[in-house]
Amino acid sequence: MKILAIDSSAKTAGVAVTQDAHLLSSCFVNAGLTHSRTLMAMVDHALRQADLKIEDVDAFAVNAGPGSFTGVRIGVAAVKGLASVGERPCAGVSTLESIAYNFCDTDAVICAAMDARCGQVYTALFSVKHGVVTRLTQDAAMPTTDLAALLKAYDAPIYFAGDGASVAAQACRDLPNGRLADESRRFQSAYGVARAALISGSFDAPDRLTPAYLRLPQAERELRIKKGESV
């Protein structure tokens, strides 16, 4: 199955084309450019490098959240639009889970973290052993202080990855087994999106694809606070 996978869940952006789990081509940008400028150009480039046309793609996958509200919306909308031509199946995967697939060659606990601001991170923990990724905790938004307490239960090497990795690593700096992942595999990867989608097998019709934000946008949270409502 040929898969076109997209990540635009944070400042970085990526596109990958795979034949099942085999990577055919990929593009990655971390230049601070807007996804509206880069994403579709990257899709076109990745397809050309794989010597494919969009009609050759069997299925699509995207990081559906958590992450930047705008970035997630752009990625999900792009995949829904591409997949709707011919009603090809598509899958939304957890951004945090896709990050863990950057470490399939490492036996460790992966703390995938995305900066949720205000001293919080979106995070989930995964065990990677012999190339198999196993989820340890569900995706959640939590204060970095709670994350440090959670990780004390694990003796294995812990890698902090994701766009919030530096924030999480700093909060957990007293952990002797914690380490900040190298930049080469710290950030979200469209190849990881494809691999996570394949393992989950959660491909469905394009109209079933929805973002997974974990919490309300900042403006809506502030409005609810002013009204005395729960957030």
- pLDDT band at 118, cuts 50/70/90? confident
CA angle 220, 223, 225 (to 5 degrees): 110
Q: Is residue 50 part of a domain?
A: yes
Task: Encode pLDDT of 48-89 as tens digits.
Answer: 999 999 999 999 999 999 999 999 999 999 999 999 999 999
Residues 70, 123 within the same domain: no
The CATH number for 32's domain is 3.30.420.40
pLDDT score for 70 = 93
How many structural domains comprise the chain?
2
Q: State the pTM of this model.
A: 0.91
- Does 192 share its domain with 181? no
The answer to the question of residue 41 being in a domain is yes
Alpha-carbon distance of 222 to 204, in angstroms, equals 35
In angstroms, rounded to a whole number, what is the distance separating the alpha carbons of residues 99 and 122?
12
Q: Do 89 and 196 share a domain, yes or no?
A: yes
Same domain, 64 and 85: yes
